[in-house]
Structure 1
Amino acid sequence: MEDGGESCKSAPAIDEATTYCVTGATGYVGSWLVKALLLKGCKVHATVRNIEKASYLIPKWKNEERLKIFKADLHDEGSFDEALQNCDGVFHVAASMEFNINKDQANVESYVQSNIIDPAIKGTLNLLKSCKRSKSVKRVILTSSISTITAKDSNGNWKPVVDESCQVSVDHVWNTRASGWVYVLSKLLTEEAAFKFANENSLDLVSVITTTVAGPFLTSTLPSSVRVLLSPITNDPELFPILKAVNARMGSIGLVHIEDICNAHIFLMEHPNSKGRYLCCTQNCHLSRLVELLAQSCPCPCPSTTINWSDDGGRVIPSIISSKKLKDLGFEYKHGVETVINQSIKFCKECGYLP
């Protein structure tokens, strides 16, 4: 995957005069990012598909004098033009969260392509076209996913270190269709199309490859990534296989705190030398170790702790999921794995999602 094209505009510096647009503002990362930017003194244009859903978050965001909410739909070209007026940068966080499709074998490929992948690509390109038309946007930060990365080489051998270059093969995803494969394809192909458009149109685009994001949340519903993380103790029949599929592809589970992932987005928006893709992972651990940590933090019935992990190939030392490129720019993480897990469980108990 190619890096974003060179831009004649320099990256914006964070100050009180800076205005940013955040797409998908009612989602987990988007809502926290809006809050983080407002706390920094920035003006924020938050885009949502449903204005009513934002009403729950407005009291949590506070600083309403610096916040404007716009209704916009990625499927409608030009829908973001108004929201991008006078914006210095755009955080494109909005994305489909389809993991699997229950369609018959004969039609599944055409269904996924036409109903999920094509709309996801079109939506991102619609936004980037609005950015190109804008006279003020200097940089776009795209939220990507660890689902676009693999820890195995072309021969199926484990790599000692995993970085931004370790991209999963589209053909492999189509052929294997491991749990969560629809989401993997959507993120992979959308990011590819975004960088292609950016290169062809001299648009400054940077992507953040997120690992499993968890910790506190502002949304009224439990975020998907937190549900996936907690699936070993909730024994969720849909999401626990996704966690296992990630572990099988990566040899471990990478984690990052919600505050750190949002800080990384802002850091890359601000840094004059950020370019291309940046993997954001506080630390990674094998799934068996993750289950132990979850059970220690939440001493309740945990069926998954009895699972035989021999299907993971007997891997003892997982590949290092490296954030070297991000750290080399000067970024520092605030929260470790134990904090991510403990805060996730504590918050879910307080909100009644866990007993």
Structure 2
Amino acid sequence: MEDLLKKVIGNASTYCVTGSTGYVGSWLVKSLLQKGCIVHATARDTGKFSSLLPLWNGGDRLKLFKADLSQEGSFDEAVKGCHGVFHVAASMEFNVLPTDNIENYVQSHKLDPAIKGTLNLMKACSRENVKRVVFTSSISTMTAKDINGTWKSIVDESCQTATDQMWNMKPSGWVYVLSKILSEEAAFKYADENAIDLISIITTTVAGPFLTPTVPASVQILLSPITGEFVFNSILQAVNDRIGSIPVVHIEDICNAHIFLMEHTTAKGPYICSAHSSVMSQLVDSLALEYPYSQIRRSSEGQHDSIPSVLSSEKLTTIGFAYKYGLKEILEQSISCCVQQGFLKNPSNHDGNP
């Protein structure tokens, strides 16, 4: 049996996961290990590995690396010998920006480092002969409106937000949006010029249970109608304004989609991954039903606006991917995990305030 196990592990695919201590990254590491893969998990702060190691339970198939996207060559050891790389790492910080010279500050302190970091990873893949990379993109880079502000009937992978619109309007989360768009553009350009097979997965609002010791930003964004947290709620509203609805996906589904695309030989380019969409009023109603202890109010008579645009995952489902979880399960599991972590009050001793 031991010899058989060694043979299986010896033939297992080896993958590198950047940003492995974040929400998607940590769950992706767990998913890959459960499939029998060898995983090279990277983090800028290796101290964050300590709380995840017992949950990953990777044994000899898990190797940990300290790597910093800002340092060229930092990922060479981590990607060496890998069949593919999952580039999940991204900043989800929403810090207050300076009021003076904001464009110059954002370009030099946010966008240039994000682009450089992505290219540093891609260069490491070139040096170590890694030929396939899956890039974690975001629904925040997409828009359901044309240049005249009219809703499109179908939103597919071609409906990217214009960068000049982000610079001009500066909606909530605009710096994050620009960093994802520009980093992805740089990655595809480099991949085309250096014979790397690059796939991007356009994630919608990811929620459900989590392994991280703190509540992930995307879960806080989805639950912001309950908590009333202004910054996260404004981001949720910005998504609704740009897409016409709030699209969501379960953490297990998004990680399964990453692996599916990595292993699908004909996969190419960007893929939207969205399990369900609901307008803001419908989402609020659903949250009120799942967590009736908050002060959010359901819409009168349960009436909702229709979704103006259909966000299509057809490109992904056509090649065989299937979702496991719907909105109710996503909200149930998100709320349950947040209650367990003390982020939301336990219903058994709730005093009526979130």
For the criterion TM > 0.5, the same-fold answer is yes
Match of 2:232 in 1: 239
Match of 2:335 in 1: 345
Match of 1:23 in 2: 18
Match of 1:33 in 2: 28
In 2 relative to 1, CA 300–245 (structure 1 residues): closer, same or farther, beyond 3 Å?
A: same
Match of 2:350 in 1: none
1:330-341 correspondence to structure 2 within 5 Å: 330-341=320-331
Whole-angstrom CA distance in 2 between matches of 1:340 and 1:16 = 35
Offset, 1:351:
1.7
Whole-angstrom CA distance in 2 between matches of 1:102 and 1:72 = 27
Match of 2:274 in 1: 281
In 2 relative to 1, CA 300–15 (structure 1 residues): closer, same or farther, beyond 3 Å?
A: farther
In 2 relative to 1, CA 197–32 (structure 1 residues): closer, same or farther, beyond 3 Å?
A: same
Higher relative contact order (CA 8 A, sep 6+): 1
In 2 relative to 1, CA 185–73 (structure 1 residues): closer, same or farther, beyond 3 Å?
A: same
Native 8 Å contact 1:15 1:42 kept in 2: no
The answer to whether structure 1 residue 102 and structure 2 residue 97 are counterparts is yes
Q: In the alignment, which of 120, 126, 139 is matched to residue 146 of structure 1?
A: 139
Counterpart of 1:118 in structure 2: which amino acid? D
Q: In the alignment, which of 150, 153, 156 is matched to residue 160 of structure 1?
A: 153
Whole-angstrom CA distance in 2 between matches of 1:287 and 1:174 = 25
**Residue by residue, what CA displacement relative to the aligned partner does 1:241-298 show, whole Å, maximum 9, x if unpaired?**
1101110111100000000000000000000000000000001110110011011100
Native 8 Å contact 2:281 2:299 kept in 1: no
Native 8 Å contact 2:245 2:307 kept in 1: no
Whole-angstrom CA distance in 2 between matches of 1:315 and 1:338 = 19
In 2 relative to 1, CA 15–212 (structure 1 residues): closer, same or farther, beyond 3 Å?
A: farther
Native 8 Å contact 2:288 2:296 kept in 1: no
Match of 2:123 in 1: 129
Match of 2:88 in 1: 93
Match of 2:289 in 1: 296
Offset, 1:304:
6.4
- Equivalent residue of 2:293, what SS? coil
Whole-angstrom CA distance in 2 between matches of 1:325 and 1:158 = 21
Offset, 1:19:
0.4
Match of 1:319 in 2: 309
Moved over 2 A (4+): 98-102, 301-307, 314-318
Counterpart of 1:121 in structure 2: which amino acid? I
Whole-angstrom CA distance in 1 between matches of 2:342 and 2:178 = 33
Counterpart of 1:346 in structure 2: which amino acid? S
Offset, 1:201:
1.2
The answer to whether structure 1 residue 76 and structure 2 residue 71 are counterparts is yes
**Residue by residue, what CA displacement relative to the aligned partner does 1:119-157 show, whole Å, maximum 9, x if unpaired?**
00000000000000013x230000000011000011101
1:109-124 correspondence to structure 2 within 5 Å: 109-124=103-118
RMSD after superposition: 1.6
Aligned residue pairs: how many? 334
Match of 2:38 in 1: 43
What TM-score does the superposition give when structure 2 sets the normalisation length? 0.92
Whole-angstrom CA distance in 2 between matches of 1:127 and 1:54 = 21
Whole-angstrom CA distance in 2 between matches of 1:58 and 1:317 = 42
Native 8 Å contact 1:144 1:207 kept in 2: yes
Whole-angstrom CA distance in 2 between matches of 1:220 and 1:97 = 16
What TM-score does the superposition give when structure 1 sets the normalisation length? 0.91
Whole-angstrom CA distance in 1 between matches of 2:96 and 2:65 = 31
My pick for the range that moved more, 25-34 or 49-58, is: 49-58
- Equivalent residue of 2:109, what SS? helix
Offset, 1:235:
0.2
Match of 2:352 in 1: none
In 2 relative to 1, CA 157–315 (structure 1 residues): closer, same or farther, beyond 3 Å?
A: farther
Q: Which runs of 5+ in 2 are unaligned?
A: 1-8, 346-354
Whole-angstrom CA distance in 2 between matches of 1:143 and 1:283 = 19
Offset, 1:337:
1.1
Native 8 Å contact 1:15 1:41 kept in 2: no
In 2 relative to 1, CA 304–112 (structure 1 residues): closer, same or farther, beyond 3 Å?
A: farther
- Equivalent residue of 1:82, what SS? helix
Q: Which runs of 5+ in 1 are unaligned?
A: 1-13, 308-313
In 2 relative to 1, CA 67–102 (structure 1 residues): closer, same or farther, beyond 3 Å?
A: same
Offset, 1:16:
4.8
Whole-angstrom CA distance in 2 between matches of 1:78 and 1:113 = 23
- Equivalent residue of 1:143, what SS? strand
Percent identity between matched residues is 61
Native 8 Å contact 2:272 2:315 kept in 1: yes
- Equivalent residue of 1:150, what SS? coil
Native 8 Å contact 1:100 1:181 kept in 2: no
Native 8 Å contact 1:164 1:278 kept in 2: yes
In 2 relative to 1, CA 21–247 (structure 1 residues): closer, same or farther, beyond 3 Å?
A: same
- Equivalent residue of 2:17, what SS? strand
Whole-angstrom CA distance in 1 between matches of 2:255 and 2:149 = 33
